[in-house]
Chains A and B, each alone.
Chain A
Amino acid sequence: MKMELIQPFISAADAVLAETLGCSTKIGDVNMEEQGYHRHGVAALVAIRGDIEGRVILDLESATAVKAASVLAGADVAESAEIVRETVCELANMVIGNAVTLLNDQGFHFKVAPPEVHASEDGLQGTRDTETLVMCFDTPHGSVFLNIAMRYNRRRSRERATLVTD
């Protein structure tokens, strides 16, 4: 996966997590995931369509998600509470929204779907032309994982190239 696609997600996650959780973050492991995706805790999925297509999953270990929700709610919340899933969805919305804003500034155009809670343990395997990258962000509240599976839309790329040559 090209760095031009990855860097906006790193920048956006770093900025959004620091701003919303009021803490510093550090980028931990970055891995290409060749096996199917395995959820760590509470996860939200956002689908992307356009010049780049795929999906991004923001995944927080359960204890981290509870801490994040408690910080944002300003009060302790229970692990089973709906607000924990809501918090992760909104964090995903902000991280991915900010990342696609940066990608749009680079000339990529796409549409972002509202985030959905991703409850399945696994099952989202990459395809031959879709690489999957997993980034870990270390925060004082625990680890936050960003799982990115995207590919260039070839038809849209051809259309863009045609427009340029015309």
Chain B
Amino acid sequence: MFDKEKVMEQFAPLTRKKDSKPVRYLVVDDSVFARKNLARMIEAFGGQLAGEAGDGCTAITEYNRTQPDIVLMDITMPQMEGIEAVERIVRQHPEARIVMVSSVGYQDNILAALQKGARHFVQKPVKPDVLYEIIRYVLNDDGVGVSVPAGEAHS
């Protein structure tokens, strides 16, 4: 179960190294419930919700509009699925950092997403500590970087 208070105690806020501002997220999922759940985790990680989308087409529009630091993208969605949206976003923005968040975690899906340019994969139900570590890894991977205040590393 996601417990925001518990998460706030566990995780030090992640901020961008370049300007110490909160990391900006785009959350893409056809389930409003899932988007709210991820938004609460983002808030608990000290991040900022830059935008939301309920399908792949809207995700592309929202990416162009908000230019987020990281995207959390579902796979199974109506109209345009997450993997196709990843391909289109990465084609336009090779620097895009996208983490797939899906309940369907079989190898074919993960491989397809990674081949199209996704940086990582996390299976639902999302454990906040797992997502936190993946975000840190993905943002540090290409030099954008995140800062964690001294002495406040994830316990």
Contacts and interface: CB of A to CB of B under 8 A. Distances in A.
Interface of A: 16, 19-22, 71-74, 82-83, 86-87, 89-90, 93-98, 100-101, 104-105, 109, 112-114
A100 B78 contact: no
Contacts, number: 72
A72 B37 contact: yes
Closest 5 CB pairs of A and B: A97-B103, A22-B1, A104-B106, A86-B33, A97-B104
A93 B102 CA distance: 9
A131 to B, nearest CB: 24
Interface residues of B, number: 26
A93 B77 contact: no
A19 B4 contact: no
A97 B77 CA distance: 13
A96 B124 CA distance: 11
| Main SS at interface, chain A | helix
Contacts of B3: 74
A85 B124 CA distance: 18
Interface string B120-153: 0001110100000000000000000000000000
Contacts of A109: 108
A98 B106 CA distance: 9
B76 A71 contact: no
